[in-house]
Chains A and B, each alone.
Chain A
Amino acid sequence: MEFLNYFGEVFSFINLITLIFGTIGGILLGAAPGLSPTMAVALLIPFTFHMPAEQGLIMLGAVYTSTIAGGAISAILLKIPGAPANIATVMDGYPMAQNNQSKEALHYCFISSLVGGVIGIIVLIFFTPILAKFALKFGPSEMFWIAILGVTVIATFDSGSVTKGIFSGAFGMWIATIGTDPIIGVERFVIDPIFAGGVNIIAALVGLFAIPQVFSLIENKLNESDIFQMEKRKLIDSIKYNISRVKALTVGSVIGTIIGLIPGVGGQIAGLVAYDQIKKFTPTKAGRFGKGEPDGIIAAESANNAIVGPSLVPLLILSVPGSPTAAVLLGGLLIHGIFPGPDLFTNHPKVVWTFIDSLLVGQFFMCIFGLYISGLAKYVLKTPVHYMAGIIVVLSIFGTYSVQNSFADVIVMLSLGTFMFLISKLGFSAAPIVLGIMLGPIAEANFITAKLIADTQDGILLYLLNGPINQVMIGLCILSIAYGLYGEIAKRKIR
């Protein structure tokens, strides 16, 4: 219960101000397409040089938490996920907005983020020593199967044609192979030097989601379905309904917590897996997902915020970050001479516990300010379409360029976006492509590593099939495919 002693530190004047500004800034940054949590934290690290350790970490933690939640605002209102973690939020968030339920959707997003986030941090506070060992068990074979589990849901992720889903996923995986392979160092499909660094995931995300949206804003300027108002919705009603969705909250938080613990997977996949699972866990509502089902938002948003706490478990004890953002946070810790390790909590109790406590308090601030900002979001909807289209283009180019100061990324982003708009006319959707881009490299890199290791042992087949975690993951993959097939067959029978 040592953590209780340090709440006083969090509420000291300067730390509190830092926390509040970090949270508000994070929500706004998160809402801008292209500015991902990882980027936001990385850009802020130099500012922490001149701060005391606690204050610097409080700021980084607040931004980490709130950018993930902030990314849902643009996902719901504009159909543009602010960061890869918010892709699953688009699925039901944007249809809800189209049904004039945008405020309700934003309420669920921030309330669920709070619930998921608090659960994740409680896990961090109480179970760090036990779970750190578990995190290390995930080697290349386990990571390979996690990526495959993600691949199995690509086809059925976006309700629509399974065939198109598979094609889109495969296209995404191909996009991800462009550039210099990170393990072997071989160049693939580098037809022009601009592809030497590969297709950046943020550039792809922004291009595939934002640019088609701009085109359709222009195209459907007079179309009623994309012009919607923000309804009047009492917060208390949203809270009551949200709390009653125990299943969605549990599925989201548990999946987010587990995935957060696994080094190198991150929130992107947590939201996606949680969304897919809640769809499978509630067969009665199966037809309503993708058309504005609150459970979809609740599961996805509680999952992507639940990863914050657990992703720090392997970081703090083993110096092995659980997510890309946690990896950047490691740099922030080192700058202040704080070396993660088993004795971290005894060597620097004040810094570490103040940081963790601030994360907990920050979750509440994130929810409160998020709800307030969602009230202001009506102005976004009131913005005339022609201004909106312009603003999105400017933000997309700015966000993409800022990732690695590369104009090549901007060209790639715009080309992919135009291409996406054209194929969206044929009924393809962006989500499976982005998932392919995200999952392909995880599966490939881990397979290559696994192969190199397995060749010194008993061969790749045994390496991938042995071990309890591998077998559980394989079981889940089979279940996921079987369920997808079953659903498809059942649909055909009804027809």
Chain B
Amino acid sequence: MKLYFALIKKLLIITFAFLMTGMGIANAKYPESPISLMVSYPPGGATDFQARIVSMMSGEEKYLGQPIVVINKAGAGGKVGWNWFATKAKTNGYDLAAYNIPHFVSQSIVMKDVEYNAKNLEPIANWGADPAVLIVNKDSPFNSVKDLVNFAKKNPGKVTFSGAGKFVGHHLAFLEFEKSSGAKMTYVPHKGAVAGLAAVKGGQIMAGFNNLSDAYRTKNTIKILAVADLERDKDFLPEVPTFKEQGYNVSNASVNFRGFMVRKGTPKEVIDFLAERVPLMFSDKKVANQMKAGGSPLKIMTRAEVQDMWAKREVSLKELLKGLTAN
């Protein structure tokens, strides 16, 4: 009987020791359980569906070794989710979030009750860039940006533009374009890019700024007149010129960048680990194919590049949005 007890005792000690060492290893090794990725837009939207594609390979040992679970916290144009993230998310590397530039920077500049800004969040890596494009209806009399500007100069305020809400990339592209064209035009915010696109197709609105990816998918029902970026898009729309080529000073400030970020305070080792592995995961062949099939441009940037881009955006957006507030 005594022997039994001794045996059990030994077994218990061994188990305990194993558990301890196991935990020790686990503490050193991140990640040891699934990671959540907060998307501040509803399921089915462009950000959500791209976030799901780029994170689908994370379970592979060579990437994160743990699956990423997408959690949507939508509302108020992204504000609800990002506010939650900047104030309540865990800083142990198990809470990631998707960022949308320029939205979250411009919101932090013009909106009240915004808890997030480029300083209390840490970028990990960028997966996509979706420039804004100027679109008109297929039957529109405008065949170039010049046609449109000439008409707008003769009819101040009469040209209507659709776009996915206020202070998003489409709105910023419109502001830049209006400024550089010297003509007065009217921006009509819509509830999402798809609604803005439909209004142009239905002829209720004369022109629009929309996502390159969305416009590309339906390019046979609309005319795409210009890309609001520094270079043409070689993969999807090589024939469409940029604004700069046509003589309008529209920068890449409105390009919609998407990527992963964590909250400030996350340990450096975790950030370094993610910053190294996440870009590899984004460049997985399967991810690239699925993104290309969905008509979504892939643009992979490392943590250093994203930090630089965030800082530049903050400066350029402050300049552009000077005097504008969301009352």
Please, how many angstroms separate the alpha-carbon atoms of A119 and B203 in the complex?
30
Judge if A263 is at the interface, Cβ distance under 8 Å: yes
Q: How far apart are the CA atoms of A137 and B45 in the complex, in Å? A: 24
The answer to the question of A212 belonging to the interface, with a C-beta cut-off of 8 Å to chain B, is: no
| Docked complex: B39-84 residues within 8 A CB-CB of A | 42-45, 48-49, 52-53, 56, 70-77, 79-80, 83
Give complex CA distance A187, B205 in Å: 26
A450 (CB) vs chain B CBs: closest residue: B204
Question: Please, which residues of chain A bring their CB within 8 A of the CB of B182?
Answer: none
Beta-carbon contacts of B219-252 to A below 8 Å, as 1s and 0s?
0110000000000000000000000000000000
B158 within 8 A of A: yes
Q: Which of A2-51 contact B (CB under 8 A)?
A: 38-39, 41-43, 45-46, 49
Closest-CB distance, B190 to chain A (whole angstroms) = 7
Say if the beta carbon of A452 comes within 8 Å of chain B. Answer: yes
A197 touching B190, Cβ below 8 Å: no
Residues B49 and A335 in contact, CB atoms below 8 Å apart:
yes
Q: How far is the CA of A42 from the CA of B160 in the complex (A)?
A: 33
Size bracket of the A interface: 35 or more
Give the chain B neighbours of A42 by CB distance below 8 A.
Answer: 42-44, 48
In chain A, what residue has the closest Cβ to B55?
Answer: A46
Contact of A184 among B52, B189, B198 (CB under 8 A): B189
**Partner-contacting stretch, out of A316-324, A371-379, A417-425:** A316-324
**A43-B43, A180-B76, A190-B113 are known contacts. Are A455 and B166 too (CB-CB below 8 A)?**
no
Binary A-proximity of B268-296 (CB < 8 A = 1, otherwise 0) = 00000000000000000000001001110
**8 Å CB contacts to A: which residues of B296-327?**
326-327
Assess whether B194 is interfacial by the CB under 8 Å rule. yes
Let me know if B118 is at the binding interface, CB within 8 A. no
Known A182-B191, A183-B191; contact A320-B49, beta-carbon cutoff 8 A: no
Per-position contact with B for A317-344: 1 when CB-CB < 8 Å, else 0? 0111100000111110011110111110
Contact with B along A279-321 (1 / 0, CB 8 A): 0000000000000000000000000000000000000001111
Which of B195, B204, B220 has the most C-beta atoms of chain A within 10 angstroms of its own C-beta? B204
Q: A328-B43, A404-B42 are in contact. Are A453 and B205 (CB under 8 A)?
A: yes
Q: Is A264 an interface residue (CB 8 A)?
A: yes
Contact A318 B221 (CB under 8 A): yes
With contacts A43-B43, A404-B73, A452-B160 known, is A336 near B165, CB below 8 A?
no
Question: Would B44 and A193 count as touching, CB distance under 8 A?
Answer: no
Would you call A139 and B194 a contact (CB within 8 A)? no
Asked whether any CB of chain B lies closer than 8 Å to the CB of A406, the reply is yes
The reply on A474 being an interface residue by CB < 8 A is no
Bound complex: CA of A449 vs CA of B187, how far in Å? Answer: 10
> Does A82 have its Cβ within 8 Å of any Cβ on chain B?
no
- Asked if A187 meets B160 with Cβ closer than 8 Å, knowing A42-B44, A136-B202, A337-B294, the reply is no
What 1/0 mask marks residues of chain B from 132 to 166 whose CB sits below 8 Å from any chain A CB?
Answer: 00000000000000000000000001111000011
A185 in contact (CB, < 8 A): yes
A257, B168: Cα distance in complex, Å: 35
A192 vs chain B, min Cβ distance (A): 11
Q: Which of B56, B198, B199, B295 has the most CB of A within 10 A?
A: B198
What residue in chain A is nearest B52 (Cβ atoms)?
Answer: A46
14 A-B pairs within 8 Å (CB atoms) are namely A39-B43, A49-B56, A184-B189, A187-B112, A263-B198, A318-B221, A320-B198, A328-B43, A335-B53, A336-B293, A405-B72, A406-B80, A455-B157, A455-B186
Interface residues of A (CB under 8 A from B): 38-39, 41-43, 45-46, 49, 136-140, 179-180, 182-187, 190, 193, 196-198, 263-264, 318-321, 327-331, 334-337, 339-343, 404-406, 445, 449, 452-453, 455-457
